Structure 1
Amino acid sequence: MSKNPFQTALTTLQEAAKMADVEPNAIKMLSQPKRIFEFAIPMKMDNGELEIFTAYRVHYNDALGQVKNGLRFVPDLDLDTVKALGFWMTIKHAVGGIPAGGGKGGVRVDAGKLSEGELERLSRAYIRKLPMKGAWVDIPGADIGTSAKTMAWMLDEYEEINGFHSPAAINDKPAETSGTVGSMEATGTGAFFVTMEAVRDLNIPKGSTVAIQGFGNVGRIAARLLHKEGYKVVGVADYFGGVYDSKGIDIEKLEEHSLNHPNRSVEGYAGEKAINKEEVLELDCDILIPAAVQSVIHEENADKIKAKLIMEAANGPVTPGAEKMLQERNIHIVPDVLTNCGSAIVCSFERTQGLTDSYWDIETINSRLKEQITKAYRETMDTAQEKDTSMRNAAWINALQKVSKSMKARGWI
């Protein structure tokens, strides 16, 4: 059993390619990244010792436009993960109707162990050493281990290097540095909008039960909105621990608890019982939202999943082998490239605002996000029904056709 995320992405590519009716050369082009950067960042730590951090950036495909998005500062980052994430961003942008290609990167580091000063120096050093960057080339954004604060430092460093302001060069900045409102909430908000479409199609009523793995920007916002909408969140867990309560968890109180926890965790919250990040996936619930990391549902635990609907708010949380097992049990999966493309959509809004110096309020952001992501959902559902295939294959079919047409028009294939 392989949990290699890049192999997962390539497996999905081959499955969708059989039904997508695109040229074989398009699939060949999409089977590897256009550019890979791997570089060292030497840095003196607060104690005077020298540490050398490994950094990555992948430009996977830019047929639809400049590459964009996420930088991860995590201790287990490797090139295959970055390649997979860059590939998923390529597909995600195409699915979401965004005129951009896929980029991803980061640094192999435990960001939680860095001081504020060390984190700032590392963030600035990453941008200094990144070979290609800028609003028309490659626009990094926040991901695990990075934040609005780190992106503001990166923007400042980029502008210091170039000697002019360029707010569209970095995404997920604070609104105070010409960012956009709603940026950090966008993935969770978009996942909520897509979930509302899916439950309507599957006749899952309000009051149904929800379990969520991950309580960062994505899981927390999705939980908050579902709770407010009248759904019963019975289980939440993150890396450090979790809680189950059959009567439903008060999400507002859970958020307050996590904010006061040293690791911003839900660990220790009072409920019926404590659970861990694996157990939350196996809870008896109607809707399961994996909103943490990749490959958490695999062949070894797929037979224990009880949910009727899985909303992939994380990138690649279900492996291909597990997906086959779940499909045999008629468990409906709405794929990551659709469920979590809200952030990619709002990042596109952020770039537009930065280039035009015209900034939108949160009502405008959420209204446009809802319109664009629900359109992507309906297009995916239509293709799934037309081709009699899964939502994942349908999303990839639509994306592959868009990217292939652009590559052909450019003369690449």
Structure 2
Amino acid sequence: MTPSRPSNPLISLTWTDHVTGRQGFLVVDRLVRGVASGGLRMRPGCTLDEVTGLARGMTMKEALHFDADDATARYVPLGGAKGGIDCDPRDPSAYGVLVRYLRAMRPYIEQCWTTGEDLGLTQDTVDRAAAEAGLVSTVQAVHPLLDDEREARQRLADAFAVEVDGIGLDALAGGCGVAESVLTALDRAGVGYEGTRVSLQGLGTMGGATARFLSRAGLRIVAVADIKGTIAHPDGLDVEALLAARDAYGTVDRAALRPGDRELPGDAWLSADADVLVPAAVSYSVTAANQAGITARWIVEAANMPVLPEAEELLSSRGIAVLPDVVVNSGTNAWWWWTLFGDIGPDADEAFAHTRRAMRALVGSMLERAEADGTTPRAAAHAMAADRLPVIAQRYGWYR
């Protein structure tokens, strides 16, 4: 009998920091072979409901990268999980909160939850805090599933040491996947790359890498929003100059702007004269109220859960397609596992080529299914995941 999908997550817990009173959360939605994967975010206002939704999304991201017919793949998709801390990462107390959270979650990280950077945190910060919390690694729960743990850990470490034009490969892998999602949508619609206008919210890890790949493909980045507001230029921004002028949180030093660059309010990226919108920062940024100003043809979700359901319904009724986060930003997570399990080596060209092939196939399948079923890309992605989850559960089991 095929194991059924639970309506509630397997594990859901709330932690309270004994020093500051701040809260943190862990949700394990599903296990595969006893392990679940999902990052750790830190942001003010983070909630258990938010983390629960993100964990369910991770289950789908993992399932969507499962190919039952590929006997050569070493990476077998894991279950889905997510962690969250209700704290501003810029707060002086944030690092201490992070260390204490990781100490509290240590039994889960050691046994079943593999994690890494997400919104508000860098991998360097997570790794440093994890070492202080007494952890071997934030992905040590997956070590028993590896053919050669020592070799795999070295391969991943080597991959994290790779930089391309000043940006780490770990940061670029996810942006490569987002950019390929955009390019696949343009190809299917017969729209050329040159001059296609893009507006992004966020120039951090995901947004910055996405901007680079799209700009180098010939698209024009006409607006970028960060915590200080929106920077815009109708003829296109100097992406490399903006990347060089950003801080660790993706905030751009305005001294680097050119004379023609305009500084606009923070929400101006939504109504920019663009063909593609890429929300690559916070969740819940596109609402039923502000979606009315959007004129873009595509919204490509580089962030997790940026478009609220009621907003997506209204956007769809206006012919605006939303490419969902469970597909678009899944390349980051997949790159980790392709590298750790040995499907790819610690090489940028190999990583980008593998990511492009996988994302183009996945996005293409999603768009084909949406067209065939007469539904939205998100509904198609969810249907694809629903088809694959029982196969994964039957073949690999939950706990073994």
Q: How does the TM-score come out when normalised to structure 1?
A: 0.80
Q: Which residue of 2 aligns with 1:101?
A: 79
Which letter does structure 2 place at the counterpart of 1:384? A
Q: Which residue of 2 aligns with 1:76?
A: 45
Contact 2:156 2:336 in 1 (8 A): no
**2:131 aligned to which of 152, 156, 161:** 156
- 1:258 is paired with a residue of what secondary structure? coil
Q: Which residue of 1 aligns with 2:208?
A: 220
1:58-77 map, 5 Å: 58-63=27-32, 66-77=35-46
Q: How big is the alpha-carbon RMSD for the aligned residues of Structure 1 and Structure 2? A: 2.9
Contact 1:55 1:126 in 2 (8 A): yes
CA 1:267/1:297 → structure 2, altered by over 3 Å: closer, same or farther?
A: farther
CA 1:109/1:134 → structure 2, altered by over 3 Å: closer, same or farther?
A: closer
CA 1:389/1:65 → structure 2, altered by over 3 Å: closer, same or farther?
A: farther
Point out where structure 1 has 5 or more consecutive residues left out of the alignment: 1-22, 44-50
The answer to whether 1:240 aligns with 2:218 is no
The answer to whether 1:138 aligns with 2:124 is no
The answer to whether 1:310 aligns with 2:299 is yes
Q: Which residue of 2 aligns with 1:383?
A: 369
- 2:266 is paired with a residue of what secondary structure? coil
Displacement, 1:42? 2.8
Write out the 4+ residue segments of structure 1 that deviate beyond 6 Å after TM superposition.
173-176, 409-412
- 1:90 is paired with a residue of what secondary structure? helix
Q: Which residue of 2 aligns with 1:208?
A: 196
Displacement, 1:58? 0.6
Point out where structure 2 has 5 or more consecutive residues left out of the alignment: 67-75, 143-152, 163-168
CA 1:176/1:60 → structure 2, altered by over 3 Å: closer, same or farther?
A: closer
**2:172 aligned to which of 179, 185, 194:** 185
Q: How does the TM-score come out when normalised to structure 2?
A: 0.83
Q: Which residue of 2 aligns with 1:16?
A: none
CA 1:143/1:253 → structure 2, altered by over 3 Å: closer, same or farther?
A: same
Displacement, 1:40? 2.3
The answer to whether 1:284 aligns with 2:273 is yes
Displacement, 1:212? 0.6
Find the aligned partners of 1:411 and 1:242 in 2 and give their Cα distance: 47
Contact 1:242 1:267 in 2 (8 A): no
Q: Which residue of 2 aligns with 1:7?
A: none
Q: Which residue of 2 aligns with 1:54?
A: 23
Q: Which residue of 2 aligns with 1:10?
A: none
- Percent identical: 26
Displacement, 1:106? 2.4
The answer to whether 1:322 aligns with 2:311 is yes
Q: Which residue of 1 aligns with 2:166?
A: none
Contact 1:167 1:178 in 2 (8 A): no
1:224-264 Cα offsets, whole Å, 9 max, x none, are: 111111111111112221211111111111122324xx964
Q: Which moved more, 1:264-273 or 1:321-330?
A: 264-273
**2:140 aligned to which of 154, 162, 169:** 169
**Across the two proteins, how many residue pairs are aligned to each other?**
367
Displacement, 1:143? 0.6
Find the aligned partners of 1:75 and 1:175 in 2 and give their Cα distance: 35
Displacement, 1:267? 6.4
